[in-house]
Structure 1
């Protein structure tokens, strides 16, 4: 480092100052074990132990109980360059605004730089972590202390970089790592160094055989760790295991006691790395038992939390034993989901069965299944429903839905329910409710509405030209089915077949249309494709109308009149083709056909031309 004349003078002055400090700091103590400690607060008193480190710099052990023995809770560095330090005395903890000194540390910007140095040096970091971060792996403890103390004084008393009397190159390298980092940073605030961790216990009574909780974690750290005494598996609200080393703020934890039946209690502890004490100052009196003041105080020191310090909190909970098991019991109440009564429209709907249960094991999965049966004879309808649930309490209720289709008009249906443990629907039930006479689990389906019987009529035409004559080699015919007295909004299916008027036999030529009328009266079309092979036949359309899409259901209307001309089409006869005359057919004279023969041939040709022309028009 190149120094100016002014810098050299300051360095010589710094050297004289260091010599004085060596005399004032006293003996060096061996480092002690660091344990977790509670945060110290402004106004607390602490004991300042003997300095540890090189002769010109040092680190003070701080005991929060105010006594000179016992575990060391914190450490502290000097804040005042030219003020003598005292050890073996009790100092008072304060915030930054309670600082009694008069150097540059009164500047909030300088305070931010010092806090940055504390947070990124030893012992806030372990010696190994600090060495790696500073680029000097294996740095000694005394070198780490020296580098940190010089970096603090560089801001509190110099505001410039002096030629410090570094003991080793490692100490100097670590110093420059801290200074360059602090210079590049806007500095830290006490709030940024704050570490919070707390946990709340469940307020509701808890019982074995369930998930006990929730315990709610609160922290300002990215993650905290959690432990339970005695050891109990910890899950989330769904019963899935959680990573106890990576719990986050707001996370809810549960003790998994689903396999336990006995009463007990446990303490759940949350732990975060660090504490909020880093950056608090300790004002030290010049005489034992004295009160430090701005004009009369010993060296002011600043606390730093060691890397092994933890902030923790705990919450406890107890739970009762599982009572002697009573048999599970269920009861049901079946209603129309649309209006809550027990009468369903004739064309069906959805019913909800509310199953009230008692004496279930909380936290254990159950499945309830049901079927609607006919009250008239107890036979099943095949209408089923199922719900899987995990009760939080022994008593409660769940719902099962059943969708009733059309086709049950006029019937009374009763819900039969069975409760099983787990998700299986085939195992033995632990409870059932199958009372055919229970009015609470019975719904009645309204009878079909009293309306005039449906009526249909048909009109069958050639789709090509609208007449009732089909070419000899087939085509498509359309039967317009007019209907009356249907129920709007109900699905219907009309099916038909073409039969021979000659003997009433079916041709196998069929057609079908499914529709939902918006009005009681209207019409739909049914198409039939007539293949070749029916030339010369007369075909009549027979139609049937059924409710729904089931073609095996009883028709609600039909039109099967063999003599109804409006639903009849005629298939033309196949054209007759004249045979070519042979040599033996020619007149013996060899001069050609007679006039009569020519006339007959002409008539045959004209007839064939007429048929062909008519067919062409039909297909155009």
Structure 2
């Protein structure tokens, strides 16, 4: 659709007052108007005139808004039009200062909005002719039919719907053989069952972003599957409502340490949304990795409509009268924006407490025993800090030595005494072996026992030799 400012509003020139008679009386008090945007009634040479319908010749007037020229249809039949150059204001429907059906009936407002959206100049003449089965439809015929349809709703103009079509003023050639049927066809289309009405919001761009998250909202499975870490943040859903199918998104982070690339937008199916392209989803989700610094995102949405804004242009009233209101059908870009902020907090990682070293308990006996403690054997030998093994070995060795020395045969010892001595040695040997079994090193104990036996044998041999020599 052409983005140039080409709109149409309708204004009726009551220059045909001569045909209708004296102009009606007007209210003598001025009505205060809330000014939103300034406008100026355009020059007469920019007007477009329609055929005469039921004695009235409508004129499509021009209006200058923000240095751009648009066209206007009238929404008041009995009110005189303002002159070129007259100052005006652009307001919403609620700013209407008239008192006809457009003021009192929401259905009439919506029907008028639908007409503006589905007739000339919003539609090209060829498109309107195709919709209405008209033949060689002209701009003058379309203007006449459209203005008559608007007045039909606002002021009960031609309530029976039967139109009488005559040439435009000072242009007898404008009435062709197909003119009357064409005007009737377009009028019937605009006032027929197809006119289902449009609200003011529907003819203007609108978009909203709503944080629809709550305790009762569950995250879709595909969105959960997009998480890499169980602690990843899932924000949303964000409901997107727009008057247009495509919505442009813009994402910014509130923390400079967080890049927009760290934040991923997903639809309900877990598919990544490219914020650089217009989106058509009714809701979206925000995925933030768990290790992302605390912060937030600022989402902005923009909706653009290339259709009717539904705005009214209301000329400044004179001290003794007000002028007819014209309804704006603006085809330039009508943009609506909205913003929504979402926040997250990075979880704090807690480290496990350090375990304090456990001091080993030392037994009372070990603490009380001096480091240089000495142990004296039965034979008077001194052993410093003996181990258990040393204590056992030394005890065995000392005992055997003493016992062996005590039983060394005297020179006058008899054989019986010798045998007794052998038995005593064997008894000591048995005792030594038994004691050695309890030691830490059994091999050493066996060597000690063998040594004892050898000593005993030598003593016996010496005792026998001594007796022989005696």
TM bracket, shorter-chain basis: 0.3 to 0.5
The structure with the largest helix share of the pair is 2
- Say which one has the larger Rg: 2
Which TM-score applies when normalising by structure 1? 0.34
Which TM-score applies when normalising by structure 2? 0.43
